[in-house]
Amino acid sequence: MAPTFMLAANFIIFGRIIRKLGTSYSRIPPKWYSIIFITSDVVSLIIQGTGGGLASVHIKTNPTPGGHIMLGGIAFQLFILIVYSCLAVEFFVRYSLKKPFRRSGSSETLDLAKPISKKVKIMSYALAFSTTCLFIRSVYRLIELSDGWKGRIIRTEIYFNVLDGAMVTLAIFSLNFIHPGFFLNEPDADDASPEKANAVIY
């Protein structure tokens, strides 16, 4: 099963971090990370489940078509993760360089950045580590299934233990030890900003 709930947690946590550091540095509003990426991830899970079901039903005849559907779902999930990661990197780069997106209808830029606290910084590192683990796992799964049901990769247990099981475990533990309930309990940057009502982010 794909780590859908772990990815969903990452998307939600990143949205919280954006609110704390300044929404003007994000390409899209924080709430859309959850709406777009969680929906897409659920779709990828459904595709993978459909492919797995077909492969299981035809295991004695021809499970290949079901495997191809599963592969499509995994590839779609990896694509989602790449897009999300690119947006996250862009946000942190813009925040570091103090280069927010322009306000709609204005040539001026909106800089509502709040100095990053130690807690938010630690949470950001934990989120990056968790995302990296899930990315490694997704790449492995894509390569594994591309090699076929009888390929060397899918039949080598150590690959699965290290690149699948261990990666998901590390991703889970990283957000258990660096818990967002504790590390993101400070007021959001935009909540204290008098310019919030006049800001239109795009």
DSSP states of 44-99: HHHHHHHHHHHHHHTTTT--HHHHHHHHHHHHHHHHHHHHHHHHHHHHHHHHHHT-
In the prediction, which pLDDT does 200 show?
Answer: 39
In the prediction, which pLDDT does 10 show?
Answer: 93
In the prediction, which pLDDT does 106 show?
Answer: 46
Spatial contact of 131 and 158, defined as CB atoms under 8 Å apart: no
In the prediction, which pLDDT does 125 show?
Answer: 96
In the prediction, which pLDDT does 202 show?
Answer: 37
Spatial contact of 114 and 21, defined as CB atoms under 8 Å apart: yes
Beta-carbon neighbour count of residue 188 at 10 Å?
Answer: 19
Rg (CA), the chain: 20
Question: pLDDT under 70 in the chain at which residues?
Answer: 1-2, 102-113, 187-202
